[in-house]
Amino acid sequence: MSAPAAARLRAAALAYPEATEASPWGHTAVKVRGKAFLFMSTEGGRLSLSCKLPASHGAALLLPFAAPTGYGLGKSGWVTAAFEPGEAAPVELLAAWIGESYRAVAPKKLAALVEAGGTAAPRDRSSGTGAKKAAKRVSGRRAG
């Protein structure tokens, strides 16, 4: 696992509208309006992340690095991917999982701000959450 991969995944998660970071149990949790959509750890150089994948959890579980998330979350569609030090992580795939997880957990209006491809609308950091401005930018991109 490379630190740049973990940093890219963290940045991708925090780019979503109203995404916030917390550090319960010494791990990173990224939430939207208080509901977690990503848990991530880089303890001991090992990358581990968990996402809620209601649409793709079956396919995700076929991958050798994925398993149902513990603590009963696997029954609700949560999947954990783990990579040992030096093992390459498929960053684009994991970023798509983060997008699916965000859309599954976020309120419908916020999830609608996110394009179907899983990319986040840029956040306006100048005033509050910028959700209305982000919605205008997203809709402007689709029209143009």
Res. 143 pLDDT band, cuts 50 70 90: very low
* 92 alpha carbon, distance to own chain's centre: 11
- CB count within 10 Å of CB 141 equals 11
CATH code, domain carrying 40:
3.90.1150.30
Domain boundaries, position 82: 3-143
Segment 17-30 mean pLDDT: 89
Q: Say what the pLDDT of residue 113 is.
A: 84
Percent of the chain with pLDDT over 70: 78
Number of domains in the chain: 1
Res. 27 pLDDT band, cuts 50 70 90: confident
Segment 75-93 mean pLDDT: 92
* 47 alpha carbon, distance to own chain's centre: 14
Q: Does residue 117 surpass a pLDDT of 80?
A: no
